[in-house]
């Protein structure tokens, strides 16, 4: 159950650290930065796709599902990295991207040939009318889920970019090949697999082609295989869906071990600007119980746009007005900005959201660079603006690479408020009052409180809509969390005299929370 108390940290390989000075981050670069990651106190490193890829979709368009992109290193570099991660008592997670491949993948190249015996590995049609009830996901660039292929003389199905044809899961050979991909990475030593774009595996006429029973049946088959052949490995579902559909990916404890809690993410941001936590309460109330042995993955930001696909039209407009006033900040149905710029560079808002994130039911996923408050370059192509090089030092090149910054795979942040001279690891490590040091302390506090990972969850009525309250309870501890989403101070009565577990401050039966403050509390007699 390591994943229930772990903190996850998301790393785009190309953007973390460049070990050989070619301007592209690499696996050996991550290896060199393990001291930092261990010092920070994260437990599981999620490596974004490192596979060979034409990079039409940031590496989510894979041309070899069991290889390593040349610019990132070799399979041996990866093995060495995994060994080093494990030697430090940490874990590693990789993406399994099997809903689709790159159109450059040999499977697609073979399937499209006239008369190909493997035509059936992908999803073809004579007309672009099939499966008309399925939505388009990348609405900014795609107007159909079908693309015409000259060589095949047919349309092929793609839920994302046209460069990403969907595999046909009705074909048993495809399912077998996918299982072998999973085995390959588990044999290599990965502890967890993030199942990318998992709602879309199967297509059926007359449905929206998402969350189909066949998809769940295949995931159960995969889980049974993993449980039968490996120990202590996990599957994480990336399913951006409404609560009832997301929870289905945990099955009866026989499907994925984890699923991202997409529904609670936008409400955290809405609550800040509305100075009212009701949207969070509604999302948590709508969240069904999850099977024993499973876990939510909670997050504030990631490498994609802040998705608004599953919120109401009214909330979507509110989010756009508040957080993406410039239309260029919007991408597909979401916002392509990083955490700190979303929060107007206000540390109190950052701290509030982390105090909540790290105590919500689930395991937190941090996005690289957010721990130092990195900014974005939202005018860059697609979602590249939130994937800029990690800022290690306040020097040209940001300590990311010795290459000429003009050669960086994605350019550095230039916004003067967030440029490397202002925002970097080195200066924040040296400064006890820095954001980075604050995050590190909070992570350490969390790891001393396993109840935050595995405890039960119950909302508390605080009597003030601006103040979110809940309890986390297990056999050893009973923790109360209060979080003030208003900018003004609020007084909340407590069930009993309590102690602030992070500061040791002793309280009576009330607490005054300054604007945007949170508190983790336990009764004086509590065992914490
Ligand atoms: C997931 C990834 C995203 C990618 C998409 C298609 O949503 O997070 O980056 O574009 O899948 O693979
Ligand atoms: Ca490199």
| Angle between helices 172-188 and 75-87 in degrees, nearest 10 | 60
Which of 15, 159, 160, 365 for mutating ligand 1's site (highest number of atoms within 8 Å of CB)?
Answer: 160
What's the gap in Å between 81 CA and the centre of ligand 1?
24
| Nearest atom in ligand 1 to 383's CA | 9
What integer pLDDT is reported at residue 41 of this predicted model? 98
* Mean pLDDT for the stretch of residues 195-201: 98
> In which residue are the tokens 């060589």 written?
151
**Using CA positions, which residue lies closest to atom 11 of ligand 1?**
197
Q: Of 26, 71, 77, 238, which is the active-site residue?
A: 238
Torsion of CA 288, 290, 291, 296, to 10 degrees: 160
Let me know: does 192 contact 164? Beta carbons within 8 Å: no
Torsion sign (Cα): 135, 138, 142, 148: negative
Average pLDDT value for residue range 363-388: 98
- Segment 144-163, tens digit of pLDDT: 999 999 999 999 999 999 99
Instruction: List the structure tokens of 218.
Output: 């295949």
Q: Are 52 and 13 in contact (CB under 8 A)?
A: no
pLDDT over 60 at 406, yes or no = yes
What pLDDT band is residue 525 in, cutting at 50, 70 and 90?
low
Three-state DSSP at 262 gives helix
Q: Is 238 a catalytic residue?
A: yes
Ligand nearest to the CA of 400: 2
Strand order of the sheet with strand 478-484? 456-459, 467-473, 478-484, 518-523, 498-500
Task: Look at residue 527 in the predicted model and tell me its pLDDT.
Answer: 47
127 in Cβ contact with 138 (< 8 Å): no
The tokens describing 398, both together, are 């940001």
Q: How far is the CA of 204 from the centre of ligand 1 (A)?
A: 22
Residues found in the chain? 528
Q: Say if CB 478 and CB 526 are below 8 A apart.
A: yes
Strand, helix or coil for residue 195: strand
255 is known as an active-site residue: no
**Rounded mean pLDDT of 37-45?**
98
Ligand that lies nearest to the alpha carbon of residue 20, given by its number in the listed order: 2
Backbone angles phi, psi at 136, to 5 degrees: -90, 135
- Structure token digits, residue 136: 């388009």
Q: How confident is the model at residue 528 (pLDDT cuts 50, 70, 90)?
A: very low
Tell me the best of 47, 57, 97 to mutate to test the pocket of ligand 1, counting ligand atoms within 8 Å of each CB and taking the most.
57
CB proximity list for 97: less than 8 A, separation 6 or greater = 49, 51, 60, 62, 65, 196, 197
Ligand in nearest proximity to the CA of 70: 2
- Return d(Cα 346, Cα 437) in angstroms, integer: 16
Q: Which domains does the chain have, with CATH numbers?
A: 1-97+294-301+338-447 (3.20.20.80), 106-157 (3.90.400.10), 454-523 (2.60.40.1180)
Q: pLDDT tens digits, residue range 256-267?
A: 999 999 999 999
Task: Share the mean pLDDT of the chain.
Answer: 97
Using the predicted structure, report yes or no on whether residue 39 has a pLDDT greater than 50.
yes
SS3 149: strand
Find the angle CA(103)-CA(107)-CA(112) to the nearest 5 degrees. Answer: 70
Q: In this structure, what is the dihedral angle of CA atoms 429, 434, 439, 445, given to the nearest 10 degrees?
A: 90
pLDDT value at 418 more than 50:
yes
Question: From ligand 1's centre to the CA of 443, what distance in Å?
Answer: 27
Ligand 1 lining (C-beta closer than 6 Å): 57-58, 60, 97, 160, 196-197, 238, 303-304
Q: Where are the beta strands (DSSP E) in 97-158?
A: 124-125, 146-149, 154-157
Phi, psi of 31 (to 5 degrees): -55, -45
* Phi, then psi, of 481 in degrees rounded to 5: -115, 130
Q: Averaged over 363-384, what is the pLDDT?
A: 98
User: Are 211 and 199 a contacting pair, CB within 8 Å?
Assistant: yes
- 382 to each of 102, 138, 369, 378, how far by Cα in Å? 17, 10, 19, 9
Farthest-apart Cα atoms in the chain, separation: 79
What does each C-alpha distance from 154 to 112, 149, 186 come to in angstroms? 9, 6, 36
At 291-302, the pLDDT tens digits run: 999 999 999 999
Interval 334-362: pLDDT, tens: 999 999 999 999 999 999 999 999 999 99
Q: Which atom of ligand 1 is the closest one to the Cα of 303? A: 9
**Pair 190, 181: CB distance under 8 Å:** no
Q: Give the mean pLDDT of 187-212.
A: 98
């Amino acid at each position: 159950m390591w994943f229930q108390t772990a903190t996850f940290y998301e790393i785009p390989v190309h953007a973390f650290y460049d070990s050989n000075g070619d301007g592209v981050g690499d696996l050996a670069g991550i290896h060199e930065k393990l001291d930092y990651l261990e010092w920070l106190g994260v437990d599981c490193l999620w490596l974004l796709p490192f596979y060979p890829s034409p990079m039409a979709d940031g590496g989510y368009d894979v041309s070899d599902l069991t290889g390593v992109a040349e610019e990132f290193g070799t399979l041996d570099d990866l093995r060495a990295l995994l060994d080093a991660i494990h030697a430090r008592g940490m874990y590693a997670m990789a993406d399994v991207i099997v809903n689709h491949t790159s159109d450059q993948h040999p499977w697609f190249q073979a399937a499209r040939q006239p008369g190909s015996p493997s035509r059936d590995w992908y999803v073809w049609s004579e007309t672009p009318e099939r499966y008309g009830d399925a939505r388009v996901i990348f609405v900014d660039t795609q107007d159909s889920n079908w693309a015409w292929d000259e060589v095949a003389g047919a349309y092929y199905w793609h839920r994302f970019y046209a460069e990403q044809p969907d595999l046909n899961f009705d074909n048993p050979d495809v399912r077998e090949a996918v299982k072998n991909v999973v085995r390959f990475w588990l044999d290599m030593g990965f502890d967890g697999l993030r199942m990318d774009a998992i709602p879309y595996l199967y297509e059926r006429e007359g449905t929206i082609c998402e969350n189909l029973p066949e998809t769940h049946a295949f995931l159960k088959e995969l889980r049974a295989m993993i449980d039968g052949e490996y120990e202590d490995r996990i599957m994480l579902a990336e399913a951006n869906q409404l609560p009832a559909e997301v929870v289905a990916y945990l099955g009866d404890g026989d499907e994925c071990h984890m699923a991202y809690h997409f529904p609670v993410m936008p409400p955290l941001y809405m609550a800040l600007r509305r100075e009212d936590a009701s949207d969070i309460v509604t999302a948590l109330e709508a969240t069904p119980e999850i099977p024993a042995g499973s876990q939510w993955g909670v997050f504030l930001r990631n490498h994609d746009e802040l998705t608004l696909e599953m919120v109401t039209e009214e909330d979507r407009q509110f989010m756009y007005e508040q957080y993406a006033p410039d239309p260029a900040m919007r991408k597909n149905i979401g916002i392509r900005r990083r955490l700190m710029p979303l929060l107007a560079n206000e540390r109190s808002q950052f701290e509030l959201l982390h105090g909540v994130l790290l105590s919500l039911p689930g395991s937190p996923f941090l996005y690289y660079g957010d721990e130092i408050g990195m900014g974005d370059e939202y005018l860059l192509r697609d979602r590249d603006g939130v994937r800029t090089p990690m800022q290690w030092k306040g020097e040209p090149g940001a300590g990311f690479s010795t290459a000429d910054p003009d050669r960086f795979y994605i350019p550095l942040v230039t916004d003067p408020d967030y440029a490397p001279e202002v925002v970097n690891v080195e200066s924040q490590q040296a400064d006890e009052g820095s954001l980075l040091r604050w995050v590190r302390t909070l992570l350490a506090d969390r790891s001393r409180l396993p109840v935050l990972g595995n405890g039960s969850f119950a909302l508390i009525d605080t009597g003030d809509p601006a103040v979110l309250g809940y309890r986390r309870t297990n056999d050893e501890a009973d923790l109360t969390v209060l979080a003030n989403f208003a900018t003004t101070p609020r007084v909340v009565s407590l069930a009993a005299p309590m102690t602030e577990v992070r500061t040791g401050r002793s309280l009576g039966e009330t607490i005054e929370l300054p604007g945007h403050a949170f508190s983790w509390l336990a009764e004086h007699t509590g065992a914490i």
